[in-house]
Amino acid sequence: VAVRAVFLGYVFGIGSVVSFIAPSSWQMFGIYITVLAMFHYSEFLSIAWINPSTLSIDSFILNHSISYGVAACSSWIEFIAERQYFPVMKEPSFISYFGLILCICGELLRKLAMFTAKHNFNHIVQSEKLDNHELITYGVYKICRHPSYVGWFYWSIGTQLILQNPFCLFAYTVVSWKFFHDRILIEEITLLNFFGYDYVKYQKEVGTGLPFISGYKLNL
């Protein structure tokens, strides 16, 4: 845990330095690095606060999946290649700053969802209902059923807007949508098993929050 925390601290520091003193075409990459480090570090801190019994080294979600790592590396490669041949593409612009705002808003929404759900939040979809599990329908959950996923979805898109990566922007949007589409299907099956008609009623009243994703519906 300490090694990963220190690593993220160094990454955040390096990103901050790059964003301030590097040539302008590198500055947004520095901002992107700080955003990335902050996201992963805040995931660990949030779980430590709201659900410490589930806290582990995996709570940093640095090892989320192989595809997540491939996606990150792909975005770095695209940025470096485009900066090399089309440096003007990487100059700070309205697009990159809009991406930063999108990342901040997505991050805040996700963390607000986590702190609203408290001990009910877990990085892993739960297959067994615990005695203290409850259906959260207040706060940001009155706006959408899966605010933590909505926040993460738009955060991921925002990172590619910061980098002004056209190819990865498209790829991240498609892949992230597919990931959350499948994840929500699985999660809502368990939620229907946990809460029955209460969750069916909740589904009818509140959308998922993600475009063209309706979740798992029972034909009643």
Report the pLDDT value the prediction gives residue 175, as an integer from 0 to 100.
Answer: 97
Task: Write the DSSP symbol of residue 57.
Answer: G
Question: How many beta carbons lie within 10 A of that of residue 44, not counting itself?
Answer: 21
Report the pLDDT value the prediction gives residue 220, as an integer from 0 to 100.
Answer: 64
Report the pLDDT value the prediction gives residue 55, as an integer from 0 to 100.
Answer: 96
Q: What is the pLDDT of residues 173-192, one digit of tens each?
A: 999 999 999 999 999 999 99
Confidence of residue 121 (pLDDT cuts 50, 70, 90): very high
- Measured CA to CA, the distance from residue 113 to residue 111 in angstroms comes to 5
Confidence of residue 64 (pLDDT cuts 50, 70, 90): confident
Per-residue pLDDT at 63 exceeds 90? no
Mean pLDDT rounded to a whole number for the chain: 97
- Measured CA to CA, the distance from residue 160 to residue 163 in angstroms comes to 5
Per-residue pLDDT at 53 exceeds 80? yes
Closest C-alpha to 118, from 181, 194, 54: 54
Does residue 210 sit in helix, strand or coil? Answer: coil
- Measured CA to CA, the distance from residue 97 to residue 150 in angstroms comes to 20
- Measured CA to CA, the distance from residue 130 to residue 127 in angstroms comes to 10
Q: Write down all domains in the chain, each with its CATH number in brackets.
A: 1-205 (1.20.120)
pTM of the predicted structure, to 2 decimals: 0.96
Q: What is the pLDDT of residues 126-142, one digit of tens each?
A: 999 999 999 999 999 99
Confidence of residue 65 (pLDDT cuts 50, 70, 90): confident
C-alpha dist (Å) from residue 147 to 78, 151, 157: 30, 6, 15
Q: What is the pLDDT of residues 77-96, one digit of tens each?
A: 999 999 999 999 999 999 99
Confidence of residue 219 (pLDDT cuts 50, 70, 90): confident
- Measured CA to CA, the distance from residue 100 to residue 159 in angstroms comes to 7
Mean of pLDDT values over 166-171: 98
